[in-house]
Structure 1
Amino acid sequence: MNKTPADGPYENQPYETLSVEERTDRVVVTLRRPAARNAINGRMIAELHGVCEELERAPKFLLLTGHGGVFAGGADIGELRARGLDEALQGINSRLFERVRRLPLPTVAAVPGWALGGGAELAYACDLRIAGPDAVFGNPEPGLGILAAAGACWRLRELVGESVAKQVLLAGRTLNAPTALACGLVMDVVPTDRLIDEAHALLDRMARSSALALRLTKLVTDAPGAHPVADDLAQAVLFESPDKEERMTRFLEKTEKTDKAEKTGGLA
């Protein structure tokens, strides 16, 4: 988790709505619009596209969180009110969130508090989510005369099932941290002061795996339907990788050493 030099591609960007920290194997992005509960506006969308571009060029893990005890209180309502048919067809938010979803290496959302509307949809787009005890997920868009059109109408169903998704999307139910954990939306709920540390620990565990294996596993997992041919092709690539040879050799050598020690009473 050593930090990379301060002159990396992220440090040179004039971010207005994000704080971005680049480390050796990951990028930490904090949504930061404190006066608007980190609401997602056009500037933030453009800056997140820039982050995605760098992560596509040089793949690293992404840790996404929010400033001030909030993940994101939704999309910027003032901007949404001004949008019309043309903007809706551009998929301004949905195309960004799908880009986040398709990043090469795993993404983690650390959600400290409110994740509403577009903020919830951004969290849904990440591969994994962990929550603080004050986290709340919800999609109140119908109350504003619109629908959750940046992925929630289908992504949330995939994450928590049709019944819970409809409770959120149609009945306006919010999911607090214990409920989100119970329905599988988040993988863990941890104290607020440990949230970022636990997110890094999760990334540390994944970082011990083969980066290529993670990339191909994510590609195959995200592919729709059954995909035995894709499984075989991805495995074929991995079977020929030097990383696989080295990792399996280390495993077998360690196992052989342990077995020998057990047979000789620890005298090997």
Structure 2
Amino acid sequence: MMSPPLSRNSNISIQFHQGGNMSNEIIVKQEGPILHITLNRPDDGNGVTDPMAREFTALINQAHESCEMVVLRGAGKDFCVGRAVFTAPGSPNAIPEAYARRAAYDVIFDAYWAVRRSPVPIVGVIQGRAMGFGLAVAALCDVSFAGDAATFNIPEMAHNIMPTMVMSSIFDRMNRNAIAWMTYSTDFINAERALQYGIVSTVVPAAKLESEVAAFCDKMANTPRPAIRGLKEYLRVAPSMDAQGGIDYARNIHAVVNTAAEMKGKHRK
């Protein structure tokens, strides 16, 4: 079920039912044109349950209706240590056949697709560990800030799990050799190597992480909306085109965006 539309300057806590307890596992806060989404399971490294992934997807899919950018964080010391898979009481231990499991896998693929397709930029704020799903989302964000103590890994192969879910999110972000090394070795890499691999956009001292993000958001808030959305659209679409298509599309979007009224006057706060 989709969440209700978000209004500006609203504070919303999304609740999930897990194991009979109610907990605020995703926190959503609207500050003017910015929607802040925080994964909020700090005691478990912000491991993402399937209900969380569904709600995350819904939030990202509707974000453009009420905001100009999304800032994504994890509560506590880690960004996200990957998926948190629970077995319901009384459920059989047998692993379902592939077709039956596909719906469960699609929860994650849908989340990745939502981040890719979002019309508004998504900014990742990465601290501590970013593993599996966490690494994938960090790489999919349009801009990711990593604290200098952040670490990244793809652990699936160590658990006899084919890592193609994560790989589907990074095949066009990282080079082939980097993907192969991370998936086969399952080793952690530091933030500087994550920057070299294309997982994050910039690395800053951990103590300055929030101030650097705030400064970037202020700059974005003073950039005309057509430019922000047009740039994201071009970066999303052009890589799948041949060279001529990419050039032609650049010509068209250049003309459309630069003649928009908001590009000619002072941008609203």
1:66 aligns with 2:85: no
Tell me the TM-score normalised to structure 1 length.
0.80
In structure 2, C-alpha distance between the alignment counterparts of 1:103 and 1:200, rounded to whole Å: 21
Please give the root-mean-square deviation of Cα atoms over the aligned residues, in Å. Answer: 2.6
User: Match of 2:31, as an amino acid?
Assistant: R
Q: Could you tell me whether the CA contact under 8 Å between 2:54 and 2:107 is conserved in 1?
A: no
In the TM superposition, what is the alpha-carbon distance from 1:191 to its structure 2 partner? Answer: 2.6
Larger CA Rg, structure 1 vs 2: 1
1:26 aligns with 2:45: no
Q: Could you tell me whether the CA contact under 8 Å between 1:59 and 1:104 is conserved in 2?
A: no
Q: What is residue 262 of structure 2 aligned with on the other side?
A: 243
C-alpha spacing 1:58/1:230, structure 2 compared with 1 (3 Å): farther
Q: Could you tell me whether the CA contact under 8 Å between 1:181 and 1:189 is conserved in 2?
A: yes
Counterparts of 1:162-181 in structure 2 under 5 Å? 162-181=176-195
Q: Could you tell me whether the CA contact under 8 Å between 1:94 and 1:149 is conserved in 2?
A: no
Which deviates more from structure 2 when the two are superposed, residues 214-223 or residues 171-180? 171-180
Q: What is residue 107 of structure 2 aligned with on the other side?
A: 92
Q: Which structure 1 residue ranges, 5 or more long, are not aligned?
A: 249-268
Structure number having the greater helix percentage = 1
Q: Deviations over 1:159-190 (max 9, x none)?
A: 23111111101222322112223334323222
DSSP-derived class of the 2:71 partner: strand
User: Match of 1:232, as an amino acid?
Assistant: R
Counterparts of 1:1-12 in structure 2 under 5 Å? 8=10, 11=12
C-alpha spacing 1:84/1:131, structure 2 compared with 1 (3 Å): farther
User: Match of 1:179, as an amino acid?
Assistant: R
C-alpha spacing 1:70/1:229, structure 2 compared with 1 (3 Å): same
Count of residue pairs brought into register by the alignment: 242
Q: Could you tell me whether the CA contact under 8 Å between 2:39 and 2:46 is conserved in 1?
A: yes
C-alpha spacing 1:94/1:83, structure 2 compared with 1 (3 Å): farther
Counterparts of 1:65-214 in structure 2 under 5 Å? 65-78=73-86, 85=98, 86-88=100-102, 91-150=106-165, 152-214=166-228
DSSP-derived class of the 1:28 partner: strand
Q: Deviations over 1:56-86 (max 9, x none)?
A: 323421111111110011101436x867523
In structure 2, C-alpha distance between the alignment counterparts of 1:238 and 1:83, rounded to whole Å: 50
In the TM superposition, what is the alpha-carbon distance from 1:230 to its structure 2 partner? Answer: 2.0
Tell me the TM-score normalised to structure 2 length.
0.80
